[in-house]
Homo-oligomer: A and B are copies of this chain.
């Protein structure tokens, strides 16, 4: 019996932060019970978004910080030529909204790629709490650091790795993510389309398709629609750290 993330709890009712299964990876982590009580009062837990609906758009005024409860959000940035880059897929337990910290306006778009439940804490409250609660400040710093170091790794991947290495790294990252949340690390569902994934990985859709086919032929993974089975984990790791990378 393989644990899989819930496919659709879109109709579920909000629970307290303390009871929330994502407690340990979300803002409440590191807050005392008493602190958490305060924070909780200021969280809007009832944001429901249908697939393809927008959470926020670039240039939009920042309303607050969002946490993904279920579903998935895609963030992406575009330039004036319409070139678009998918920045991140935010899965349950991930936060988003930090991109507006520079100017108060968002720099990227955030769109639900599945029916999604979000929690939201307003910036005003957030800031006030950061001033008053050391644990909140610590958590802010931690979360922002996660985003920064993730982006750094993504830069390394896009700047220095081959396409197949990039996919391998991505699959391993997703595998770890699911494992750390109590789901199977060998079998999981891709929450995004090939379009979105290929863009995220900085390659053409066709290239992504060819790579998945090749990995299947080699028995490293099996892939059926959006379902991924990692069959040869060591080999996938080897690919991710391929020695075929460009030399400096």
Question: Chain B interface: which of A47-55, A139-147, A211-219?
Answer: A139-147
Interface range, A side: 35 or more
Mask of A131-142 contacts with B, CB within 8 angstroms, 1/0: 110100110011
Contact partner, A204, options B77, B85, B199, B246, Cβ 8 Å: B246
Question: Chain B interface: which of A8-16, A25-33, A148-156, A181-189?
Answer: A148-156
Q: Are A102 and B248 touching (Cβ within 8 A)?
A: no
Given contacts A81-B241, A152-B99, A155-B87, contact A137 B127 (CB under 8 A): yes
- Separation of A102 and B85 alpha carbons in the complex (Å): 24
Q: Are B160 and A102 touching (Cβ within 8 A)?
A: no
- Separation of A154 and B202 alpha carbons in the complex (Å): 12
The 9 closest A-B pairs by CB, nearest first: A101-B145, A102-B145, A159-B202, A85-B156, A158-B158, A151-B151, A107-B149, A85-B159, A83-B245
